[in-house]
């Protein structure tokens, strides 16, 4: 098991660094080239969301932590925003899956699109996704197959 | 790579050529550019994304914001993009139904005539 951990101040300029590191580690872990763009995008979205959680929080110097792990035939990424939040209920977690923007309506729907697209992108990209919140912060965990078989198992 | 922006007028449309990475750090620059154009009275915009290397949801949000602004003036915002990895993000979010996406600036101009 190999783990790379990256901690950064919750600033937008560091999100690109997180994307580059995640893509480099994913490539080394054997994640298929065709999937690397998805990894890069998904980790960027998770980190952008984490940085956003720190907005308007004065004197908040807790870092965002990105943990990259290529154990057990999977390449997993965990992004912890470090912002303590009430734990999500099962019902709320189920509701989260419905956050894809509803484009069937114009007008009001546009605001939803503007604000909730980050999670929509992650939901659209990642099959194995786990979102949790708690006293230790909000955590988005995603994983992809690693190694030689990854290209066959990822659609 | 940072974000590069340039604007020109062609066929009665304002073309915004975007290059580099549009993410949470650089998207505010694109937002400023679109707001500035609308404030100057440019309501028919074509955003050429052929030189964009990376686009995330923050960038999508800026484009949606731009669309809302031009629509308030009965304008239009069209996109030029042929890169599959960028188009995929529009498909995932359903925004292919919101933005007219064209293969070239010439086609975008022709389609809006």
Taking only the tens place, the pLDDT of each residue in B25-56 is: 999 999 999 999 999 999 999 999 999 999 99
Q: With an 8 Å Cβ cutoff, are A103 and B57 in contact?
A: no
Euclidean distance between CA atoms B31 and A48, whole angstroms: 17
Question: pLDDT (tens digit, 9 = 90+) per residue, A4-22?
Answer: 999 999 999 999 999 999 9
Interface test with A, best of B93, B97, B98, B99 (most A CBs within 10 A): B93
Q: With an 8 Å Cβ cutoff, are A16 and B92 in contact?
A: no
Task: With beta carbons less than 8 A apart as the criterion, state whether B91 and B81 touch.
Answer: no
Domain extents in chain A: 3-150
Percent of chain A with pLDDT over 90: 48
**Average of per-residue pLDDT across A129-152:** 81
> What dotted CATH number matches A3-150?
3.30.565.10
pLDDT higher than 50, residue A125: yes
CA distances from A64 to A2, A38, A69, A108, B36 (A): 20, 20, 16, 32, 33
pLDDT higher than 90, residue A109: no
Task: With beta carbons less than 8 A apart as the criterion, state whether A144 and A31 touch.
Answer: yes
**Average of per-residue pLDDT across A69-82:** 92
- The pLDDT value recorded for residue A97 is 41
Q: Predicted ipTM?
A: 0.89
Euclidean distance between CA atoms B65 and A143, whole angstroms: 32
Helix, strand, or coil (residue A109)? helix
Q: What is the Cα gyration radius of chain B?
A: 13
Euclidean distance between CA atoms B89 and A40, whole angstroms: 12
- B94, closest residue in chain A (CA to CA): A103
The chain-wide mean pLDDT, for chain A, equals: 81
Domain B3-111 has CATH 3.30.750.24: yes
**Average of per-residue pLDDT across B70-90:** 96
**Which residues pair with residue A145 across a beta bridge?**
A74
Q: With an 8 Å Cβ cutoff, are A110 and B64 in contact?
A: yes
Give A1 to chain B, closest Cα distance, Å: 30
């Amino acid at each position: 098991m190999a783990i790379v951990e990256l901690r950064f101040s919750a600033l937008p300029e560091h999100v690109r660094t997180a994307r580059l590191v995640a893509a480099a580690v994913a490539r080394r872990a054997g994640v298929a080239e065709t999937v690397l763009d998805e990894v890069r995008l998904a980790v960027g979205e998770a980190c952008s969301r984490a940085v956003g959680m720190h907005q308007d929080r004065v004197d908040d110097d807790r870092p965002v932590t990105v943990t990259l792990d290529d154990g057990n035939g999977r390449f997993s990424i965990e992004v912890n925003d470090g912002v303590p939040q009430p734990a999500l209920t099962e019902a709320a977690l189920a509701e989260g899956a419905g956050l894809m923007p509803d484009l069937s309506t114009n007008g009001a729907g546009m605001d939803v699109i503007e604000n909730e697209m980050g999670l929509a992108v992650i939901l659209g990209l990642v099959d194995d996704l786990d979102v949790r919140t708690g006293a230790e912060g909000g955590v988005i965990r995603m994983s992809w197959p690693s190694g030689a078989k990854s290209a066959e198992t990822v659609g | 790579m940072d974000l590069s922006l340039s604007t020109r007028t062609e066929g009665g449309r304002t073309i915004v050529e975007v290059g580099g990475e549009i993410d949470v750090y650089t998207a505010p620059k694109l937002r400023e550019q679109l707001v500035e154009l609308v404030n100057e009275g440019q309501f028919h915009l074509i955003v050429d994304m052929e030189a964009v290397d990376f686009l995330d949801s923050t960038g999508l949000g800026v484009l949606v914001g731009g669309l809302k602004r031009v629509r308030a003036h009965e304008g239009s915002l069209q996109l030029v993009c042929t890169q599959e990895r960028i188009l995929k993000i529009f498909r995932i979010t359903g925004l292919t139904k919101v933005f007219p996406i064209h293969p070239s600036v010439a086609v975008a101009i022709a389609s809006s005539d």
